């Protein structure tokens, strides 16, 4: 077993609250970013018509999976899919692509939020174990009960 290093132990304990607070700040920031994306993302994918046609202009559609809702385009009829005409105008195509990119961003942020939440839950578990090692009982609200 490692020799007891009291200074190291006290340093570990002293940094604890600040480290947790920073992680909670990270979580709040991710939550805010997610809220900023509400209703602006598109779960569809690109589908082109007449892309290789010799005379017709290529037109973009956004297709969604069957029964897949889209924050931007709404809900499909049951067992149907949303099919949205975008057309051939550059600005409209850019707008549609932006919404799909934002959906990727939303998924990335949700994964990040899950990771932070799992980390904090694990911290909570380990801190409770930590206090029980010191002979304390922890109440429902996380406060130490008198010994």
Structure tokens at 62: 């956004």
Structure tokens at 27: 């979580």
Q: How far is the CB of 82 from Zn ion (least distance, A)?
A: 6
Comparing CB distances to Zn ion, the nearer of 56 and 98 is 98
CA proximity to 63, closest of 76, 46, 77, 87: 46
Comparing CB distances to Zn ion, the nearer of 83 and 118 is 83
Comparing CB distances to Zn ion, the nearer of 73 and 106 is 73
| Bridge partners, residue 59, by sequence | 49
Residues 29-68, mask of contacts with Zn ion (x by CB under 5 A): -------------x-x------------------------
Q: Are 49 and 67 in contact (CB under 8 A)?
A: no
Q: How far is the CB of 64 from Zn ion (least distance, A)?
A: 6
Q: Where are the alpha helices (DSSP H) in the chain?
A: 6-37, 90-133
The residues binding Zn ion (CB under 5 A) are 42, 44, 70, 72-73
């Amino acid at each position: 077993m490692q020799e007891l290093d009291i200074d190291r132990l006290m340093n570990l304990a002293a940094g604890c609250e600040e480290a947790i607070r920073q992680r909670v700040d990270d979580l709040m920031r991710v939550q805010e970013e997610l809220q900023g994306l509400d209703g602006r993302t598109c779960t569809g994918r690109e589908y082109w018509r007449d892309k290789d046609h010799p005379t017709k202009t290529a037109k973009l559609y956004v297709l969604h999976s069957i029964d897949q809702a889209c924050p931007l385009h709404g809900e499909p009829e049951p067992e149907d899919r949303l099919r949205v005409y975008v057309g051939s105008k550059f600005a409209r195509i850019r707008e549609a692509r932006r919404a799909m990119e934002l959906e990727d961003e939303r998924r990335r942020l949700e994964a990040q939020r899950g990771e932070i939440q799992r980390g904090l839950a694990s911290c909570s578990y380990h801190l409770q174990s930590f206090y029980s090692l010191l002979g304390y009982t922890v109440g429902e609200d996380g406060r130490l009960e008198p010994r």
